[in-house]
């Protein structure tokens, strides 16, 4: 039997919950059984939260351990919570029940270091989560080859770390626009707070002849005066691909136009930004920072252009022929169809099973002999 741990939410559906939610749906389609983990009590006092972390997750994990049988596989979406509890219980359950545990990384906060002005992290907590806890899993599914190299450099077994390539993005494909036209218009989706996406405001304050279609919360519209701005508000994640306008989607981060700077900008060198999946699911070719890890994916699939600075964008698009753009859009549409069906996670899960059969199950059989 295969299980997926489902961390229940407090009812707030955000862009950050889209990727784990899609993995949960794809896992269900593959026949995996859901094991619910309770929602973290975010509105409770700190003392209550600490007591909760020491007791409730442990109780649920012990219940999971009672259900498991030899040869079962459990998928854990990382990071979750109660890292110290998980570090104690997962190896114990794994050994006692002869079951395998697979971690799918959504974020490595020890590498990103939080979000400037939005999210602070406890370095010790995430050192435990990203180094000690992840090392306890039979297989670790990371984002891409750059993140894989980073983990191997941290001491992880190369044979047990695999790359997803890109996150899937489940949505209704019948609502996706079938045709795109080349022009100087770009879609930007995500957290639009100045501290997180300062580059947006620099673009709007510049004389770049580019129209921006903006999607997401915290846009400081009152501080921007530009006829080149179309703010579409915050839309449900499942509806976004069918409602996105623009010729390209932009994968960028940080305060600057000339490079991706700051902790979130630098994090692009290692992570799979979910907005890349969103744009491709919408059939949009992309503009991406040339030092981003996923620039390799964009180049190899021919689904966009990689630039060192956003100042290059008007010239790069202007030099493109309509035929060039149509080819790029067709390739984006093909990748988008795979994303909307969950093809990338389905493929990497099959590889994870094979690794477990080769290493973990064989070692358990050796122990029984």
2-168+343-368: CATH class: alpha beta
Two structure tokens written together for 105:
């990384």
CA of 335: how far to CAs of 105, 168, 173, 339, in Å? 22, 10, 12, 6
Quote the pLDDT of residue 19.
Answer: 96
pTM: 0.93
Same fold flag, 2-168+343-368 and 173-341: yes
Quote the pLDDT of residue 125.
Answer: 84
Quote the pLDDT of residue 369.
Answer: 46
b/e code 306-337 from CB counts within 10 Å (16+ = b): bbeebeebeeebeeeeeeebeebbebbbebbe
Give the Cα separation of 318 and 1 in Å (integer).
54
Give the Cα separation of 29 and 215 in Å (integer).
30
- Homologous superfamily, domain 173-341: Glycogen Phosphorylase B; (3.40.50.2000)
Quote the pLDDT of residue 322.
Answer: 96
* Tens digits of pLDDT across the chain (369 residues): 999 999 987 655 445 589 999 999 999 999 999 999 999 999 999 999 999 999 999 999 999 999 999 999 999 999 999 999 999 999 999 999 999 999 999 999 888 875 544 445 567 888 899 999 999 999 999 999 999 999 999 999 999 999 999 999 999 998 898 889 999 999 999 999 988 899 999 999 999 999 999 999 999 887 676 788 999 999 999 999 999 999 999 999 999 999 999 888 999 999 999 999 999 999 999 999 999 999 999 999 999 999 999 999 999 999 999 999 999 999 999 999 999 999 999 999 999 999 999 887 656 655 554
Quote the pLDDT of residue 20.
Answer: 96
Quote the pLDDT of residue 179.
Answer: 87
Ordered by start, the domain boundaries in the chain are 2-168+343-368, 173-341
């Amino acid at each position: 039997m295969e299980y997926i741990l489902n961390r229940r939410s407090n009812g707030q559906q955000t862009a950050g919950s889209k990727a784990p939610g899609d993995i949960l749906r794809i896992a269900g389609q593959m026949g995996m059984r859901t094991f619910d983990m309770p929602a973290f009590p975010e509105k409770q006092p700190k003392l209550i939260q600490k007591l909760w972390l020491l007791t409730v997750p442990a109780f649920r994990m012990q219940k999971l351990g009672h259900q498991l049988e030899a040869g079962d596989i459990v998928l854990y979406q990382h990071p979750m919570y109660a890292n110290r509890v998980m570090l104690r219980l997962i190896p114990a359950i794994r050994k006692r029940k002869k079951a395998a545990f697979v971690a799918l990384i959504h974020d490595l906060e020890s590498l990103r270091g939080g979000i400037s002005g939005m999210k602070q992290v406890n370095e010790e907590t995430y050192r435990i989560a990203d180094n000690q806890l992840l090392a306890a899993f039979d297989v670790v599914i990371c984002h891409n080859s750059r993140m894989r190299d980073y983990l191997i450099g941290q001491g992880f077994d190369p044979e047990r770390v695999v790359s997803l390539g890109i996150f899937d993005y489940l949505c209704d494909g019948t609502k996706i626009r079938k045709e795109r036209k080349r022009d100087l218009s770009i879609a930007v989706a995500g957290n639009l707070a100045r501290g997180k996406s300062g580059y947006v405001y620099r673009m709007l304050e510049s004389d770049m002849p580019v129209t921006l279609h903006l999607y997401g919360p915290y846009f400081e519209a009152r501080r921007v005066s530009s006829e080149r701005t179309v703010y579409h508000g915050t839309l449900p994640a499942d509806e976004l691909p069918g409602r996105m306008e623009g010729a390209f989607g932009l994968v960028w981060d940080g305060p600057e136009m000339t490079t991706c700077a700051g902790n979130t900008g630098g994090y692009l060198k290692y992570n799979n930004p979910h907005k890349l999946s969103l744009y491709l699911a919408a059939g949009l070719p992309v503009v991406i920072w040339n030092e981003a890890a996923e620039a390799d994916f964009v180049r190899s699939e021919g689904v966009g252009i990689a630039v060192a600075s956003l100042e290059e964008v008007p010239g790069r698009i202007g030099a493109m022929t309509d035929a060039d753009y149509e080819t790029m859009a067709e390739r984006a549409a093909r990748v988008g169809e795979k994303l909307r069906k969950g093809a990338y996670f389905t493929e990497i899960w099959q590889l994870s099973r094979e690794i477990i059969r080769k290493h973990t199950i064989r070692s358990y059989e050796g122990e029984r002999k």
